[in-house]
Structure 1
Amino acid sequence: MGDPKRPKKKYVEGKPKRLWNSDLLMSELRLIGEYGLRNKKELWLARALLRSIKHRAREILSAPMEIRGEAEKRLKDRLFRMGLISDINIPLDSVLALDVTAVLERRLQTLVYRKGMARSIHEARQLIVHGHISINGVRVRSPGYLVPRNLEDGIGFAPTSRIVKAKVTQQVNQGGQAVNQ
C-alpha cells in the first residue's frame, strides 16, 4: 500500500552510487548549467529513463530471434517517436550508445530555447512555468516534459499569454496589421 504522502522516487535508478566523485560532480554540474536544470534530481530522472531504455535494448539483444524482431521494431519505433533516435533503421547496438544529453535535448525547456523563443535556457524555463508556452494550443507548465517528435512543430506561445498580446499591440502601434501566429 505505502504512505500516500511519500511517493516512490522515480530517479532511484539514475542516482549515482558514489555521489562525491569529483569527475561525476563536474560533469553533472556542466549538464545542469548547460540545460538549465533546477537540481540534480532532474538529471537523475533523465538518467533513469535512459537506463531503462538501455536495459530493454540489452534484453532484446539477448532474446531469441523469433521474439527479437518484433520487440526490436517496437522499441525503435518508440524511440523514434520520442525523438531519441533520428532513423528507425539504425542497428539496436547504437541505442546502447545513447547518452543522457539525448534525453535532455527532448525536454520542452531545451526545445523552447533552441527554437529561439527565449534568450536563455533559464528564461525558457521561466516562460514555461509561468504558462506562456503551449503545445498545439494546450498550455504545458512542466519544463521537463519530453516532447514527442510529432508535437515538436506545435510548440509556441499560448494564445492567452501576455507576451503574444504585447507583440500584437506593438505591431499595431508600429502601423502594421495584427497577425495571428
Structure 2
Amino acid sequence: MGDPKKIRAKYSGPSHPWQRKRIEDEKKILGSFGLKNKKEIWKMQSRLRSFKAQAKSLISGTDAQSKKEEEALLAKLYNMGIIEQGANMDAILELTLADMLKRRLQSMVCNQKLAQSMRQARQFIVHGHVTVNGTLIDIPSYLVKRIEEPAIKFHETSTLKDPEHPERIKKKKERPVQEKRERRDPRRGGRRR
C-alpha cells in the first residue's frame, strides 16, 4: 500500500507576525463575513494567490498550450462564479479577497435572506439545516458554484423550512410608550427611585 501521503497545510500564514494594517484588515473581514478565525482568511488568500500566479504565468506564455490553459482557467473561475462571462486574464489579476469570500456557502445563505446575519448563517449550516442541490452540506467555507446558487435551501426535515419559524422572523424592537407612564409610583406622583 505504500506510505501514506503527508498532509500539508492548505494555506500559508502571514510573513510577519505583527503588522498593524494587516491585523486591522483581517479583523474587519472576520466581522463582516462572520468567519471563525484568521485561518479561514489565509486559506482563501492562498487560493486567490494561486489563481493569480497561474494567470501571471499563462499571460507570459505564447504557445497553443498556454492558450488552452488560459481558456480552462477562465472557464473554471466562471463556473465557480468568481468572474463574469467574457472576462479576460486581467480580471483574474484584479480579484480581491472579498470576491472569494462572497462565494462561500455562509455568505450565500445570508445574501439569499435564509438567515438574518452571517453568524446565524454559519450556525444553520453547521447544524445541518442547509442543502445544496439536495445534498446536505455542513461546511460554511464550501465554495458554491454558479449553477448551484439557485439550489441553496433548507433541508426538507429542517424546522427552519417554515417561514414563520422564530429564528427566521426579523424581530422588531417596539418601545411601548404606555408602559413608561404606568411605571410611575402612584403614591408620590413621580418616578420611582
TM, length-normalised to structure 2: 0.80
Query: How do 1:135-146 and structure 2 match up within 5 A?
Result: 135-146=132-143
Query: Between the two proteins, what is the percent identity of the paired residues?
Result: 34
Query: How do 1:43-122 and structure 2 match up within 5 A?
Result: 43-87=41-85, 89-122=86-119
Distance 1:131 1:115 in 2: 17
CA distances 1:128-181 after superposition (whole Å, capped 9, x unpaired) = 0000000111110000000000101100000011222x55899xxxxxxxxxxx
Q: Which runs of 5+ in 1 are unaligned?
A: 171-181
- Indicate conservation of the 8 Å contact 2:109/2:121, yes or no: yes
Q: Report the structure number with the largest CA radius of gyration.
A: 2
User: SS of the residue aligned with 1:95?
Assistant: helix
Q: Which residue of 1 aligns with 2:10?
A: 10
Distance 1:91 1:77 in 2: 11
Choose from 117, 129, 133 the match for 2:130.
Answer: 133
Assess, with a 3 A threshold, how the Cα gap between structure 1 residues 24 and 169 changes in structure 2: closer, same or farther: closer
For residue 69 of structure 1, what is the amino acid of its counterpart? K
Structure 1 residue 69: Cα displacement? 1.8
Structure 1 residue 64: Cα displacement? 1.8
Distance 2:84 2:5 in 1: 41
CA distances 1:45-94 after superposition (whole Å, capped 9, x unpaired) = 0001001101110110111242232111111000000011012x222112
Assess, with a 3 A threshold, how the Cα gap between structure 1 residues 124 and 66 changes in structure 2: closer, same or farther: same
For residue 11 of structure 1, what is the amino acid of its counterpart? Y
User: SS of the residue aligned with 2:87?
Assistant: coil
CA distances 1:91-148 after superposition (whole Å, capped 9, x unpaired) = 2112111011111000000000000000010000000000000011111000000000
Q: Which residue of 1 aligns with 2:157?
A: 160
Q: How many equivalent pairs are there?
A: 164
Assess, with a 3 A threshold, how the Cα gap between structure 1 residues 2 and 25 changes in structure 2: closer, same or farther: farther
Assess, with a 3 A threshold, how the Cα gap between structure 1 residues 29 and 168 changes in structure 2: closer, same or farther: closer
RMSD: 1.9
